[in-house]
Chains A and B, each alone.
Chain A
Amino acid sequence: MRSGATLASKTASGTAGIESAAPAVALRGRAVTDAEAGRPLLDVRGVTMQYKTQAHLITATYRVSFSVLQGDRFVVVGPSGCGKSTLLKAVGGYLTPTEGEIRLKGERIAKPGPDRIMVFQEFDQLLPWMTVFENVVFPLKTTGTLRGKAADERAMHYIEKVKLTDFAHSYPHTLSGGMKQRVAIARGMAMEPDILLMDEPFAALDALTRTRMQDELLSLWDETRFTVLFVTHSIPEAIKLGSRILLLSPHPGQVKAEINSVPRGKENSNEAAALGREIHDMLFADQIEEIPNASGG
């Protein structure tokens, strides 16, 4: 009962936030991409995520809705504590929403599956007892996606794509952080999932490697046009990588805005800088009004 009451009070402040952001959605929504004609690949409807710690029931996101279309580079951006990782884990099937539902190609997501491959931030996502090649081939074979030679060829193809052919038979501990993340991306892409879920995959890399990895991800996307749902707390990264950006407010995460990013290759333009400032202002304004709220709950 008590948690219901808190939720209701948060609804009031939440709707106010959405209303203020609504004109931005309408305005930018007209500049549609060709992909927008199709039906959504991933449909997230009114998802509230809650989890329990030892002493508290914490609402991570509140009634978040968005849909991802085929070929989207959909980026969820928000400050830490906005529940964006929790949301991604729900799409991955690791967590179940307390309210609302998530559908992939019309099917309700109930558990993890190889149609949604996660790429994590942590380097230990690569299985250390397997070489790069074995790591990439492993999901193909265990899920029965491909067998024998076909699996080997597909794995090598994607290892080549991330430019690691020379390291195919090295063990992960001999690779640098950036190379490990490239293996993880190759492993995800080799499965050719409906959607690739990336949870701040470049956050643990140094700035130079990070920029290079962003460029490589974009050129991979140019080649294969995979659908990706990308979570980050970096506004420049969101603008550079995303075709569509979802802004979440902190504590609990609520949709602040859903906007189109600048066109490809214009991440250093004035337009991008203006968009960055706009996003920053929206998130920053939010933090000020949310802080007392968070400490109260």
Chain B
Amino acid sequence: MLQAVERPNIYCETLGPDQFGIIEKPLTLAERIYNKVWLRKIAILVVLALGWEIYGRWLDNPLLVPPFSEAMRALITDIGNGTIPRRALSSLEVLLVGFATGTVLAGLLTVFAISSRIGTDFLDTMTAMFNPLPAIALLPLALIWFGLGAGSLVFVLVHSVMWAVSLNMLAGFRGVSTTARMVGRNYNLSGLRFVARILIPAAFPSILAGLKIGWAFAWRTLIAAELVFGVSSGQGGLGWYIFESKNQLNIPEVFAGLLTIILIGLAVENVVFRFIEARTVQRWGMQT
């Protein structure tokens, strides 16, 4: 049998904040170093480069896998003599034109899509058809329509950017909360002002994600397209540089070209997009 035990009321004195010893203790140096994300990532890169170097030396066949040091030497030489910067610039120029055009078209298409039901259906149908279609598959047609040159490249770039970006934009616009919409309407915002002042900032995390995907798609498509042709496009970009070096059996240069592509990709992701994120969605607390 349980018996009710009579218990007294208990009152305690609590210590004030100044009466404690150490509440916070700094971490050790090793812990602090290990906490740096970029340091950990660099460590991974160093290990990978070492592995490559050892494998390349062990294989001893520079036509298949030149060691890391060879690739780096080729990279530094060609950066020094201006070949790689020139090629990269030529690629980036086309890329930016294509990316910007694709983004603007995606924006127009999405605004059309949210302003009418037929627009939504149009965008749904178009993205369903064209998003799975690799842009590079349109290159033969583009070559017939626009000839060998920047025109064809821009065409396939626009195709690769537009659908990915508009899909994300539309998803972002649809996800804007009813409350935010009602707030906008309360202040007499309508039409394009409503889109610019409420919808775009509210959907910015999705839009930014779309831009990142679009950028990656465009970059890949461009290199692939340059590998297919580039002969007649005068200067030629990084893809053509890789193709050319392979034909001359300058395998370290091939690796140097690949490394450049990776480096540019990393720079855009970690500098440009990271900067935009820190200034917008992270500051606004819409993304952590």
Contacts and interface: CB of A to CB of B under 8 A. Distances in A.
A112 B284 contact: no
12 contacts: A112-B185, A112-B186, A117-B186, A118-B182, A127-B202, A129-B280, A142-B193, A143-B187, A171-B285, A172-B285, A173-B286, A174-B285
A265 to B, nearest CB: 33
A206 B285 CA distance: 22
Contacts of B198: 127
A124 B179 contact: yes
A124 B180 contact: yes
Interface string A39-80: 000000000000000000000000000000000000000000
A138 interface: yes
A125 interface: yes
A142 B194 CA distance: 11
A139 interface: yes
Contacts of B187: 114, 138-139, 142-143
Contacts of B268: none
Interface in B167-190: 177, 179-180, 182-183, 185-189
A94 interface: yes
Contacts, number: 63
Given A114-B186, A114-B188, A142-B187, A125 B180 contact: yes
Interface string A160-181: 0000000000011110000000
Given A124-B179, A125-B179, A171 B283 contact: yes
Interface in A108-149: 111-114, 116-118, 120, 122, 124-125, 127-129, 138-139, 142-143
A127 B188 contact: no
Q: Is the interface of B mostly helix, strand, loop or mixed?
A: helix
Interface string B252-288: 0000000000000000000000000000100111100
Given A128-B284, A171-B284, A174-B285, A143 B180 contact: no
Contact of B179 (A120, A139, A174): A120
Nearest to B201: A129
A92 interface: yes
Interface of B: 177, 179-180, 182-183, 185-189, 193, 197-198, 201-202, 204, 280, 283-286
Contact of A94 (B180, B182, B189, B201): B182
Contacts of A172: 285
B179 A113 contact: no
Interface of A: 92, 94, 111-114, 116-118, 120, 122, 124-125, 127-129, 138-139, 142-143, 171-174
A143 B188 contact: yes
Contact of B188 (A112, A128, A173, A174): A112
List the 4 closest A-B pairs by CB distance, nearest first: A173-B285, A129-B201, A112-B185, A122-B179
A128 B285 contact: yes
B284 A94 contact: no
A138 B197 CA distance: 10
Given A129-B202, A138-B187, A174-B285, 15 more contacts: A112-B182, A112-B185, A112-B188, A113-B186, A114-B188, A116-B186, A117-B186, A120-B179, A120-B183, A127-B202, A128-B286, A143-B188, A173-B284, A173-B285, A173-B286
B185 A122 contact: no
Contact of A113 (B180, B188, B204, B280): B188
Nearest to A174: B285
Contacts of B177: 122, 124
B256 to A, nearest CB: 42
Contacts of B202: 127-129
A89 to B, nearest CB: 8
Contacts of B204: 129
Contacts of A139: 186-187
Contacts of A114: 186-188
Contacts of A174: 285
Contacts of A113: 186, 188
Nearest to A113: B188
B27 to A, nearest CB: 25
Contact of A120 (B182, B188, B285): B182
A120 B188 CA distance: 17
A112 B182 CA distance: 9
A174 B282 CA distance: 12
A139 B202 CA distance: 16
Nearest to A94: B182
Contacts of B286: 128-129, 173
A124 B286 CA distance: 11
A83 B263 CA distance: 59
A139 B283 CA distance: 22
Contacts of B188: 112-114, 142-143
A127 B182 contact: no
Nearest to A125: B179
Contacts of B283: 171
A293 to B, nearest CB: 29
